[in-house]
A and B are shown apart, each in its own frame.
Chain A
């Protein structure tokens, strides 16, 4: 089975600092991989590299069959990134944001509305400007803007952050559904109890390198 994400000796610099200092990683289709590690370990940079936003200084990176050392842009339309930032215009309403981002990704407005429904964003919030939403509501809208692109590779940075219990369950369900439907999920989290339950496999990253890998748990696989 060919890897959806294939990194070898990947080095990425943020300024002069090696945020990734020689990462080797393979993630396969339909897999949910948890990235563990302390703050500043390189998790966000790794997600940025996979999204084609951050270039490598040295090493190999092939994502969704695209060689990122040659063309980082080719992969961008095919990935969905949920970062620390909301990726939303604060002065636009919820539906105005979803309409814009779904059209920008050549999806339809209906895709955007369906994504809002899927994320459980109440229709009474649709016309409100994003800046007036709570952090959890904003997170759901950001998630909706991501999934309306129908990405093949989900890159999630702390996807549970700011969400209530129901929202966290919803996110776990969406990740599992995505993997079942053939998408691949790579996510970073500090909430290990919850994250390890939904992940098929986890790796620990620290100081810009992968330290260890937890093989797929039989129990977790059975759940998924």
Chain B
């Protein structure tokens, strides 16, 4: 009788597979990244007449762009699992549902962090932004992305088999991620030295959000996988 290798090894296996799928299909580089850059450009065109507003709004515009891109990435990630009976195969595999969840979160986090790295360069060029608080910015990006991926994987699994998943997932997810948007935006404003207060409480809030969803997701993924 086969035995699965444990949560960690299952998570690594799934994360490696998801990253390999992205490398093969190049949806992130070929579609999501151009979409994200296009959104940044459109914001720049829309607000450029008043450069001051564009500068003030940079953190918010950045995270709104990340959220939209994250929804696309999540839809792609879970659409793959809903094709060709893959969800049944995963249920039959004997892998730990928590391992599958954490693997998907890991892959999503890596993909989104790479996207954000490119978007930061885009913001620096298009919006003439200077990033000063790099450690805080890095912490905010990492924790916010973990929260987006953690919550997104829960709702991605929930919507995976639904015919209306393309429209339902943003409707479910975006309101839920409003706290991430607010905290990440405020934290980034501090890291850009637009506000005098410390940004670390915002990072802590993002950390709590990520922790709650990673914990919930690890437990909820089994029933979600069963009902998907």
Contact = CB atoms under 8 A, between A and B. Distances in A.
A91 B88 contact: no
Contacts of A101: 89, 93
Given A77-B2, A91-B21, A105-B93, A100 B84 contact: no
B120 interface: no
B92 A81 contact: yes
Nearest to B97: A73
B94 A76 contact: yes
B84 A104 contact: no
A96 interface: yes
Contacts of B164: none
Contact of A89 (B13, B80, B91): B80
Interface in A186-213: none
Interface string A69-90: 0000100111101011111111
B17 A86 contact: no
A53 interface: yes
A86 B4 CA distance: 22
A161 interface: no
A129 interface: yes
Given A53-B92, A87-B89, A89-B80, A104 B24 contact: no
A126 B20 CA distance: 16
B3 A83 contact: no
A77 B80 contact: no
Contact of A149 (B2, B10, B80): B2
A107 interface: yes
B88 A90 contact: no
B85 A83 contact: yes
Given A89-B17, A91-B21, A106-B4, A79 B84 contact: no
A204 B61 CA distance: 63
A89 B4 CA distance: 20
What is the interface residue range for chain A against chain B?
20 to 34
B17 to A, nearest CB: 5
Given A92-B21, A104-B13, A87 B2 contact: no
A85 B20 contact: no
A150 B89 CA distance: 15
A28 interface: no
A168 interface: no
Interface string B62-89: 0000000000000000001001111011
A92 B88 contact: no
B4 to A, nearest CB: 6
A167 to B, nearest CB: 19
The 10 A-B residue pairs with the shortest CB-CB distance, nearest first, are: A85-B85, A77-B94, A87-B89, A104-B93, A106-B2, A91-B24, A91-B25, A105-B2, A85-B84, A76-B92
Given A89-B80, A152-B1, 7 more contacts: A51-B92, A77-B1, A77-B2, A92-B21, A96-B20, A107-B2, A129-B24
Interface of B: 1-5, 10, 13, 17, 20-21, 24-25, 80, 83-86, 88-95
19 contacts: A53-B92, A76-B91, A77-B1, A77-B3, A77-B92, A77-B93, A78-B1, A78-B2, A81-B92, A87-B88, A89-B86, A92-B20, A92-B21, A100-B13, A100-B17, A103-B13, A105-B93, A107-B2, A152-B1
